[in-house]
Chains A and B, each alone.
Chain A
Amino acid sequence: MNMTLTREKESPAIGVENVGSAALTEKVYETSNLNLWYGENHALKNINLDMHQNEVTAIIGPSGCGKSTYIKTLNRMIELVPDVKTTGQIKYRNRNILDQSYKVEDLRTQVGMVFQKPNPFPKSIYENVVYGPKIHGIKNKKILDEIVEKSLKGAAIWDEVKDRLHENAYGLSGGQQQRLCLARCLAIEPDVILMDEPTSALDPISTLKIEELVQELKKDFSIIIVTHNMQQAARISDRTAFFLNGEVIEYSDTNTIFSNPNDKRTEDYITGRFG
């Protein structure tokens, strides 16, 4: 078995102590001049954004501002919607993912996603977690067992489910289901984790657990999270992008955005004057 860890090799300088010193981190995503249309509707307008390794990037904005559309473009889930057209570039690790020669399956193996509503498969907890490894050809039972334990620990749900791994995932509570979905996503050790309003369907305690997890996980993964909850963005993210009507109004350090926004519209939004 190969023992190297690819990403560590790419950026050996990154360690826990470096998180936060933005200048040193490597770029995961570079979006330039991205435009997106749903039929005639111009949903994303000239987006330019860079996302960094081992950071949490939050995307905030009112409903319909395009934040969800944007995050779904990052793993090309947007293509499931018929009649979508894009122009511009999104570079993931220096390769343009909007190029149709980029296989979506390869991209999504690198970039995991956690959805708005918990969506475990109607299978056992174990089967949910091994789904990804299995479809990608990993069949060794011992390795799968290890992956399950590691992933469930990574999503802080191991202790709650370790005695009932073979029970149906639908027996879990909403918050547990969402953490299971996170574990399922961790099982293939993605590079980036996209989270599309992952706590919007959860109660406050479950939300808190997910937020703590995000903090923990960013040591190993790069996380991009869409949220309609500004406090959440302020609590957990390193950088924040504010979207409005399909445009990026402002993008900078989370501290700056929340304490000293550049744009009047950002200030209006975060002080609750609209949205």
Chain B
Amino acid sequence: MYNDIIIDNFSDPAHVGDIDGPEYQYEIGNPVCGDRIRIQISATGGRVDSARFRAWGCATSVATANIFCASLERLVLARLGERSDSEIEAMLGELEPSQYHCVEILQQLHRRLVDLAGEDCREATT
């Protein structure tokens, strides 16, 4: 069973696509289930303009990529680190045990961006 957040973000994802010359680009994968997600982000002045993904994986994994991209739009990158793990987990709604790995995927997507954008974020805040 899938919750409505997962179904909506999987069935009609608004953030599928590519960005020409993205500020940030990275890919994560799960070696066990084979899921792969690529994220591309354009940003101006430390603020996200647009985020897009490509994904191969289960429905929850695709939905996770879309939810993550949607959460970044207009976000000030310097504030990215303020998100707690529980806030991140809540973005996916209630999951079945077999879908818990998508929480880890979402946290992985978040942490990679925090790492990538870390230097830029520090520059922006000093």
Answer yes or no: do A and B interact.
Answer: no
- What residues of chain A have their CB less than 8 Å away from a CB belonging to chain B? none
